[in-house]
Amino acid sequence: MISYKTYELVNKAEEEVQEEFKKIDELCNRNSLKVLQAFRDNKISTVHFDSTTGYGYDDLGRDATEKVFAQVLGAEDALVRSQFISGSHALSVALFAYLRPGDLMLSITGTPYDTLHEVIGIKENNSSLQAFGVKYDQIELVNNDFDYDAIKNYLKKNKVKLIEIQRSKGYSTRKSLVIDKLEKAIKAIREVDKDVIIMVDNCYCELVNDKEPTEVGADIIVGSLIKNLGGGIAPNGAYIAGRKDLVDLAGERLTLPGEGREVGPTLGINKSLLQGIFMAPSVVASSLKTAILTSKILEDLNYQVEPKWNEERADIVQNIVFGNPKDLVSYCQGIQMGSPIDSFALPEPWDMPGYDDQVVMAAGAFTQGSSIELSCDGPIREPYIAYQQGSLTYAYGRLGVMFAIDRLINNK
């Protein structure tokens, strides 16, 4: 089923990355202790697994879950809800909660992820922020780092209401942003403007390091529960965490003014959310190990990869630059073949809602769209990059990559 040549490639690469794997194991231990302590401090009990319906008044499990997430993320408060349909939805809710007509939003990491283009108004939409009179501007990264001088000069000349930072690379060729760079940028911003809201898109980045953006000065962070913090168990949802006043504003935008966070039935999801974040340190560690192994093998096969197998990582995403559409599609098809769900299907590029280019997407996942489960996708545009992420266990991630390598080699 898998060729002897592929086994040899994987076994050789695996031997050479053991020191990096040890670092990931140590990180997993530290993050597991942090998560366990949050459960202990908030006295989580089986009573918190109970369900509410209708309005969802007095949902003890929902409130306790949000306290656990806030503590793990180093935040004052958190809004953790299944009513968020995705991380992009949570980002949209946050932006509409904080920005008013005439306000100025500034991205300091260049153009945000594709699914926010119509939210902001980069791509015309009658329901966008710009359609409601919110202004938008952006500053590009320089050599995979913030343009500190440009940011400071811009803030001196303009009254900015909100600065948006996207840590993960999205469908771009840049590097994802490690926490040290983020901390440096936030300090630079605060030297000029102490009041501007600093909001970080933290998708794919949770528990990849010892600290989260809220612990280095960010006002608010946003992420999806079918990525890192859901641990492969949460069936949907997202979070907004940070300053309590900003979390409350987001709650009123998600539901309605005057009721805000007091409503929102959990419909039996509390146990899954709690179990998901409990498992998250281990699942994130498995994803990181799978990414490191992938990076080493593909580099050995003379493909350009980012990050390199022994580089510091900011997220669970592994880029592979194939340089042609055939190899990109073949690799993604191999990942699908090594998936537990729909392994018999071969993904082909298609017109995906919210994206300008056709996208090929391998995602044989138990939860639709889950990218903490092993998945791989990429837009059909130069330089034809595959974006691989996730894996519930390292053993399954290793097997998935072996299927992908086999498919890639056999289709040459």
Residues 173 and 78 in one domain: yes
pLDDT of 411 reads 81
Task: Say whether both 12 and 68 belong to one domain.
Answer: no
- For residue 173, what pLDDT band results from cuts at 50, 70 and 90? confident
The CATH number that applies at residue 215 is 3.40.640.10
- Percent of the chain clearing pLDDT 90 (strictly above): 94
Q: Which domain holds residue 114?
A: 51-267
The predicted structure's pLDDT at residue 357: 86
Whether the ω angle into residue 101 lies within 30 degrees of 0, i.e. cis, is no
Q: Is 232 in the same domain as 340?
A: no
pLDDT tens-digit readout, 209-225 = 999 999 999 999 999 99
Supply the mean pLDDT for the chain.
Answer: 96
Please check the confidence at residue 93 and state whether its pLDDT lies above 80: yes
Chain segment 263-282, per-residue pLDDT in tens? 999 999 999 999 999 999 99
Judge if 301 and 247 occupy the same domain: no
| pLDDT tens digits for range 125-134 | 999 999 999 9
**Digit-coded pLDDT (tens) for 220-248:** 999 999 999 999 999 999 999 999 999 99
pLDDT at 170: 83
Per-residue confidence band for 353, with pLDDT thresholds at 50, 70 and 90: confident
The whole-number average pLDDT for the span 113-136 is 96
In-domain check, residue 319: yes
Number of domains in the chain: 2
Residue 36 is assigned to a structural domain of this protein: no
Q: How sure is the predictor about 398, in pLDDT bands with cuts at 50, 70 and 90?
A: very high
For position 401, which CATH number holds?
A: 3.90.1150.60
Q: What percent of the chain has pLDDT over 70?
A: 100
- Region 92-102: mean pLDDT is 98
**Lowest model confidence (mean pLDDT) among 116-125, 313-322, 355-364, 381-390:** 355-364
Look at residue 352 in the predicted model and tell me its pLDDT: 80
- Does residue 65 lie in a domain region? yes
From 267, 293, 317, give the residue that closes a domain: 267
The answer to whether residue 272 sits within a structural domain is no
